[in-house]
């Protein structure tokens, strides 16, 4: 079993420069360093003390389906009750609905600890929070009154029901039906891969289900979105009859065993009762509110598991004695952390984690600005920034999470391949993040096909201008030289991949290496920015991370420009 220690100092390094900007936003005026420290410390205690010890338990026991009832592993239901009672589920949501009203940036940092400690547990509030965001934007007054307080408090949980067996990523091919029946609809169909589609944490589960009305156009334009609760809700807010839906089976998965991934059947009898969210045939627009929220959280999962795996690797390397090395003129038994290749591996893991954290928190900071800013041009610029960053955060951080978990196994050597050490679980748990909420290849296509051209390319141009200005704040030396070369390569490659004269198939074939290059270069700038802003006591450490990253991680990424421009050429 691997131990988890919340990296509060590293988190504060990223958050501290953001706090004045967050406190300047309407509604966050009372935010200060002391409040943020208190929140992080309390969350860290719960993550390390309650959730982390359950991680291996959940992996071994898994969730099970017994007589139509999903049961979670020992300790998970109790931990969820403590989580909800402490108010953690409602951290970023409006106080008028029972939330804490804190910025998404702070909630993101807290969520990192949930996922590091116990990713399978953290998936439940992740989906609930996405559903809350959906209702806040598209729900009717009646829907908000019925569901929001219960979801925000954690008394009920939520899901996203998109995928169907025959359709996979092609959501537009879904066959789930919705037929109007008075003031509601009757839903029938099968959904797969439904995270926490059923469980024993709470009395009710509120499903957000995509379905098609009779006569609706084919493809995504004909899809509508519905609230379909496990138990119907009476006028007084109490639970009524069981709705016509059920978990058919649980998937047997590579990892995240404690998270019940359900095959859900809707409408086996008279049809599950559902309530339209937004407009008919407006389901995709509404669902993307949940998707963007979830994609940010998935990138965060990559960061979180990488941190947990890195800690395990550092601990093992500092304890494992192997071979002899010269020390003070004599040969002595050596810890493997003393070997140059292990040092290099651990440093590579560490600086990439720092870059991932900076990128993810930067996305959350842009989200807060997009939500809270009153000035319309600034608000639009912030929304453009988060739109641009989402595919980078989701894809790059989840890719890196898996790679760093693999590095942790390698540091352990043969013991990493043995389940008892616990590090293999991190590798298995990390793998799914590269797939769900849109595979990383889809994220790359989204970046190249939709995000770069937005606003005539203004969003990416604005970001590149900021990075160019950052170069002016850096001292002469290897960090500045490496980042300048990286930015020039990124600009040149961006010009190529957005050139409409280039064959579209070639441009899309280069999307994945382009995304990796883009995120890696941006991560280097964020590390350099952190070093520039760091206090005297952290200056040397921050600069060392930025220098290593620029010299070891950046060159392979910028070399991907050749792969991008090669397109589909054999």
- Active-site residues: which are they? 437
Cα separation, 231 vs 150, in Å, equals 13
Q: Which residue has the tokens 């969730």?
A: 63
Residues 407, 311: contact at Cβ < 8 Å?
A: no
- For 519, the token pair is 């995120």
Give φ, ψ of 31 to 5 degrees: -70, 135
Q: For residues 358 and 527, what is the distance between their CA atoms, to the nearest angstrom? A: 7
DSSP reduced 3-state for 329: coil
Burial 143-174 (b: 16+ CB within 10 A, else e): bbebbbbbbbbbbbbbbbbbbbeeeeeebbeb
Gap between the Cα atoms of 279 and 18, Å rounded = 37
**What is the C-alpha to C-alpha distance for residues 414 and 281, in angstroms, rounded to an integer?**
54
User: H-type helices in 16-103, by residue range?
Assistant: 19-23, 33-46, 52-61, 76-85
Residue 344 — left, alpha, or beta (φ > 0 → left; ψ -120 to 50 → alpha)? Answer: alpha
From CA 90, how far away is CA 292, in angstroms rounded? 18
Q: Residue written as tokens 């706090």?
A: 19
176, 210 in Cβ contact below 8 A?
A: yes
């Amino acid at each position: 079993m691997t131990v988890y220690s919340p990296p509060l100092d590293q988190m504060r390094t990223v958050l501290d420069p953001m706090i004045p900007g967050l406190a300047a936003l309407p509604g966050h005026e009372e935010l200060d360093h002391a409040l943020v420290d208190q929140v992080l410390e309390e969350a860290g205690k719960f993550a390390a003390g309650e959730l982390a010890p359950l991680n291996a338990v959940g992996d071994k026991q898994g969730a099970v389906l017994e007589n139509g009832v999903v049961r979670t592993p020992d300790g998970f239901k109790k931990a969820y009750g403590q989580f909800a009672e402490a108010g953690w589920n409602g951290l970023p949501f409006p106080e008028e609905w029972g939330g804490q009203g804190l910025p998404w940036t702070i909630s993101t940092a807290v969520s990192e600890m949930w996922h590091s400690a116990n990713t399978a547990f953290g998936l439940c509030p992740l989906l609930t929070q996405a559903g809350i965001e959906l209702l806040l934007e598209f729900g009717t007054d009646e829907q908000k009154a019925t569901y929001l307080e219960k979801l925000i408090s954690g008394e009920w949980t939520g899901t996203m029901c998109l995928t169907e067996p025959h359709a996979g990523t092609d959501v537009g091919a879904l066959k789930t039906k919705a037929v109007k029946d008075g003031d509601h609809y009757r839903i029938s169909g099968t959904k797969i891969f439904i995270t926490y589609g059923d469980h024993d944490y709470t009395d009710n589960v509120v499903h957000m289900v995509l379905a098609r009305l009779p006569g609706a156009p084919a493809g995504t334009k004909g899809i509508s979105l519905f609230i379909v609760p496990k138990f119907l809700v009476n006028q007084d807010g109490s639970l009524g009859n069981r709705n016509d839906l059920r978990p058919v089976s649980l998937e047997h998965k590579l990892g995240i065993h404690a998270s019940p991934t359900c095959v859900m059947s809707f409408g086996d009898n008279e049809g599950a009762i559902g309530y339209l969210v937004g407009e008919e045939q407006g389901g995709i627009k509404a669902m993307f509110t949940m998707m963007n929220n979830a994609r940010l959280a998935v990138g965060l999962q990559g960061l979180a598991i990488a941190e947990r795996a890195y800690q395990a690797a550092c601990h093992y390397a500092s304890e494992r004695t192997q071979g002899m090395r010269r020390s003070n003129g004599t040969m002595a038994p050596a810890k493997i952390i003393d070997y140059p290749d292990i040092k290099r591996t651990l440093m590579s893991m560490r600086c990439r984690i720092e870059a991932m954290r900076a990128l993810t928190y930067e996305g959350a900071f842009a989200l807060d600005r997009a939500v809270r800013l009153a000035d319309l041009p600034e608000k639009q610029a912030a929304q453009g920034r988060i739109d641009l960053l989402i595919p980078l955060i989701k894809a790059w951080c989840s890719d890196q999470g898996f790679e760093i978990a693999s590095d942790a196994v390698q540091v352990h050597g043969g013991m990493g391949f043995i389940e008892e050490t616990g590090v293999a679980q991190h590798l298995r748990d990390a793998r799914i993040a590269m797939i769900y909420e849109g595979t990383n290849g889809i994220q790359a296509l989204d970046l190249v096909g939709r995000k770069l051209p937005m606003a005539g390319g203004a969003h990416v141009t604005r970001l590149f201008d900021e990075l160019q200005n950052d170069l002016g704040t850096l001292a002469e030396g290897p960090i500045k030289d490496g980042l300048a070369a990286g930015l020039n390569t990124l600009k040149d490659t961006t010009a190529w991949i957005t050139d409409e004269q280039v064959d579209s198939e070639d441009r899309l074939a280069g999307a994945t290496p382009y995304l990796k290059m883009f995120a890696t270069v941006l991560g280097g700038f964020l590390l350099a920015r952190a070093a520039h802003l760091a206090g005297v006591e952290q200056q040397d450490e921050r600069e060392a991370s930025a220098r290593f990253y620029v010299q070891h991680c950046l060159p392979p990424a910028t070399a991907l420009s050749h792969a991008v421009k090669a397109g589909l050429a054999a």
